[in-house]
Amino acid sequence: MQQNEVKLSSFKLSLLKLKTKNASKPKPLSSFKDVKRAVIFLGLHLWQRNQTEILNFKAYLKSLGIESTLVFLYPTKDPKTVAEGTPADEIHLILKDFSGYGYPKSEKALKAASLPSELFINLNSVPGYHELALGKLSKAYFKITPYQTIYKNDYSILLKSTPDNLNEYLKQIREFFSHLT
């Protein structure tokens, strides 16, 4: 099944490009075995539908020696929707933490964008400004996302995905890793 390309506002994309133009480039790694930290970005609804699969994937990364941090985006501006006392390996963000064109503006969102990591994985199959901004700002060497033309310049690995089939996407990521280890 072919995934449809989603069009984003060229004005907002221009603002985002301008704001992220000085983002530092990732340092090259000598091999995939140097990857020790990962950031996994996903929307809250994806988590609610696929919590078991995502936790299994996180455990898989841990079996490779990779510690991961989950960064959640809640589809609301209301801070009361975010649970209190979240685990240390999770960051919960709301739309208010970002500008209208996806650039992180709160301290928490800026922290999420600059987490030290060698691997950044976007699990959201629908492209958006937040995914684009975090991909641009991440200092990770390997940046993985579902294929969308808009991500070609900012993500190093684009994999085909079928919307609403996270298992298949995670399987492709595992297969990709198996070629690197």
Q: How do residues 90-129 score in pLDDT, each as one tens digit?
A: 999 999 999 988 999 999 999 999 999 999 999 999 888 9
* The two structure tokens encoding residue 120: 């950044």
Query: Considering the entire predicted model, what is its pTM?
Result: 0.85
Cα–Cα distance measured from residue 177 to residue 134, given in angstroms and rounded to the nearest whole number: 22
**pLDDT for 180 beyond 70:** yes
Q: With H, G, I as helix, E, B as strand and everything else as coil, classify residue 121.
A: strand
Query: Residues 6 or more apart from 94 whose CB is under 8 A from it?
Result: 73, 74, 76, 77, 78, 79, 81, 82
The predicted-structure confidence for 38-91, as pLDDT tens digits, reads as follows 999 999 999 999 999 999 999 999 999 999 999 999 999 999 888 777 788 999
E strand intervals along the chain: 37-43, 67-74, 90-94, 119-122, 142-146, 157-159
- The confidence score (pLDDT) of residue 3 equals 47
